[in-house]
Amino acid sequence: MTNRRQFLAYGAAAAAATGLSSKFSFAADALKVTPPFKISLAEWSLHRTLRDESKGLTNLDFPRVSKEEFGIDAIEYVNQFFKDKAHDEKYLTELKQRCEDQGVKSLLIMCDGEGALGDPDTDKREQAVKNHHKWVDAAKFLGCHSIRVNAQSRGSYEEQMKLASDGLRKLSEYAKPHGLNVIVENHGGLSSNGAWLAGTIAKTEMDNCGTLPDFGNFYIRRGKDPEKYDRYKGVEELMPFAKAVSAKAHDFDEKGNEVHTDFFKMMGIVLAHGYHGYVGIEYEGGKVSEYEGIKKTKELLDRVAERIAQG
């Protein structure tokens, strides 16, 4: 049976899907005074630099680099860059202080490597939920609004939806008293099927369980027989549940546009759903340096915002 939240969410998605260009124009008229969205920086954009010990950059430097190098005052962490620090209050206090010194806001922690929240084995699924508890606690300490998790599972389409929604619901129940959201990114497998992930989130029936639509992670299967999902359709389907958005970028043309994703079209979809929060830069390309790629992505998002403001 379709619950009220699911009905409203899909109703909004259906409305947004019709007349998208006119809605984009409407958004432009309505947002001439206030910025249509805010820009944040995902730590994964610097993953090569952070892994290169010769660069001398660590997770503790992330707030400073974000502010000083790119003028971005909101950040999204990746847990693997401080994997053993979730319970280290001294470390987290230092990180929080560095954010405060720079005037930088901590938004979320992207969590990987903590087990499959949709594991068919009940004990393993329960353990995966518990493994994420420490990141909820760390996110709360740092002042974040969410942790980003994955929805790995195995089995049929319906079985995976049932299993993943169970793990996500239990984790969301833990996070709710802390005032934290549990958000899922399209990140491979069925999670890159927008309809499946939207249905899985709706099935949790938890208002603090949502999505983090990523512009580029729509490979359901890679390898010799790859299966891709339409990125625009996928973001359209995920936006009714979105509590954050990830602007994935790889390559740019001579005009500074991302060659794989039409950012103007994609941000039209995002704004048509009434989302005006943070859009996180996540540069993953290799043709230019990470620093240059971040700057190019920010320049592109700034141009999108400017065009909307101009109507």
Which of the four pLDDT bands, split at 50, 70 and 90, describes residue 34? confident
| Number of Cβ within a 10 Å radius of residue 136 | 26
As a whole number of angstroms, the distance between CA 37 and CA 129 comes to 32
What letters, b where the CB count within 10 A reaches 16 and e where it falls short, cover 234-250?
bbbbbbbbbbbbbbbbb
What pLDDT, on the 0 to 100 scale, is given for residue 33?
52
As a whole number of angstroms, the distance between CA 187 and CA 121 comes to 21
Domains of the chain, residue spans: 4-310
Task: Enter the tokens of residue 178.
Answer: 């802390």
Q: Residue 204: pLDDT above 70?
A: yes
How do residues 301-311 score in pLDDT, each as one tens digit?
Answer: 999 999 988 87
As a whole number of angstroms, the distance between CA 266 and CA 79 comes to 27
Q: Residue 25: pLDDT above 90?
A: no
- Whose tokens are 């790119």? That residue is 70
How do residues 231-287 score in pLDDT, each as one tens digit?
Answer: 999 999 999 999 999 999 999 999 999 999 999 999 999 999 999 999 999 999 999
What pLDDT, on the 0 to 100 scale, is given for residue 197?
98
Architecture of domain 4-310: Alpha-Beta Barrel (3.20)
Nearest Cα to Cα of residue 260 among 221, 287, 295, 223 = 287
Give alpha helix (H) positions in the chain. 4-17, 20-30, 47-51, 62-70, 89-102, 122-142, 157-175, 194-204, 231-238, 263-272, 290-310
- 8 Å CB contact between 150 and 192: no
**CA distance to 43, 73, 170, 276, per residue, from 159 (Å):** 33, 41, 17, 34
What pLDDT, on the 0 to 100 scale, is given for residue 219?
94
Q: Residue 4: pLDDT above 60?
A: no
Task: Enter the tokens of residue 150.
Answer: 């994955």
CA torsion sign for 274, 233, 286, 302 is negative
As a whole number of angstroms, the distance between CA 205 and CA 35 comes to 32
Q: Residue 67: pLDDT above 60?
A: yes
How do residues 105-153 score in pLDDT, each as one tens digit?
Answer: 999 999 999 999 999 999 999 999 999 999 999 999 999 999 999 999 9
Q: Residue 32: pLDDT above 50?
A: no
How do residues 69-115 score in pLDDT, each as one tens digit?
Answer: 999 999 999 999 999 999 999 999 999 999 999 999 999 999 999 99
Q: Residue 22: pLDDT above 90?
A: no
121: which residues sit within 8 A by CB, 6+ positions away?
Answer: none
Greater confidence (284 vs 26) lies with 284
What pLDDT, on the 0 to 100 scale, is given for residue 14?
42
What pLDDT, on the 0 to 100 scale, is given for residue 223?
87
- Which amino acid, residue 160? Q
